[in-house]
Every structure is written in structure tokens, then in C-alpha cells.
Amino acid sequence: MTRYYSKDHEWVEVDGDVATVGITDHAQGQLGDVVFVELPEAGKVLTKGKEAAVVESVKAASDVYAAVSGTVIQANSALEATPSLVNEDAEGEAWFFKLTLTDQSELGELMDKEAYDAFVASL
């Protein structure tokens, strides 16, 4: 599996034509304690760069954007029950949703781990 990162602080892990999407550890750190997560329903078609989910913390509410286009096949219901998982394991068990990719070429616009780390360091 290959993992990519967006400038909006989402990660995308690709296995064939299925992408698992979440927010980065940097993003959860900026948000603070996450208290609510609203996820897209299965069947929803997401467009790259458009709103996909919402995360609310004690500090603010933030949109999570689709780093790639596709159709949602599964949302992580554990986050709705326990939103604090985002703070505990943002780049693992706290994935937001899985989707079937509609345009694999969009992955070329994302960063690898080294490029993302350099991007975060420049902020």
C-alpha cells in the first residue's frame, strides 16, 4: 500500500482502486481535543478538493476535504462513537472513510511522506 498526503493535511492510503482517507497527526494536533466527527455516507460521490467530512474540536470546527475523487464505500463508524480516536491514532485506526477511486492520476498531485514533512516544517 502506498500513502500520500495533501496540503490540506489529509492522508490517502491506496490499495488497488480503494483509498482509505484520514487527517494527519499534524492536523489533529492543530485541532486539539476532537469532540465530534461527521462522516460521508456510503454511496456519496466525492470530488477532489470539495468538502467530504467535518471535524469539531474544543477549539473549532473544520472541514475535511477530499484529497481524491471517488465513491464512498465505508465510513469509520468508530469515530462517530469515539471521536477522540482522532487524537489517539490519526494516521491509523482513526481513518475517516474508504472510497473507490475514480481518477488514479489525481494521486500524482499529492505528496509522499518526505515532501509532506518538509511542507509542514515550512508552515
Domains and CATH numbers, the chain: 2-103 (2.40.50.100)
Distances in whole angstroms, Cα of residue 104 to Cα of each of 2, 47, 96: 12, 13, 20
Q: List the one residue out of 32, 42, 19 whose CA is nearest residue 90.
A: 32
Residues in the chain: 123
What is the three-class DSSP state of 29? helix
Place of cell 472510497: 99
Rounded-to-integer distance, Cα 20 and Cα 80, Å:
17
Instruction: Note down pLDDT in tens along the chain; length 123 residues.
Output: 899 999 999 999 999 999 999 999 999 999 999 999 999 999 999 999 999 999 999 988 999 999 999 999 999 999 999 999 999 999 999 999 999 999 999 999 999 999 999 999 999
Q: Which amino acid is at 69?
A: S
Q: 40 with 50: CB under 8 angstroms? A: no
Q: How far apart are CA 41 and CA 37, in angstroms?
A: 13
pLDDT computed for residue 60 by the predictor? 87
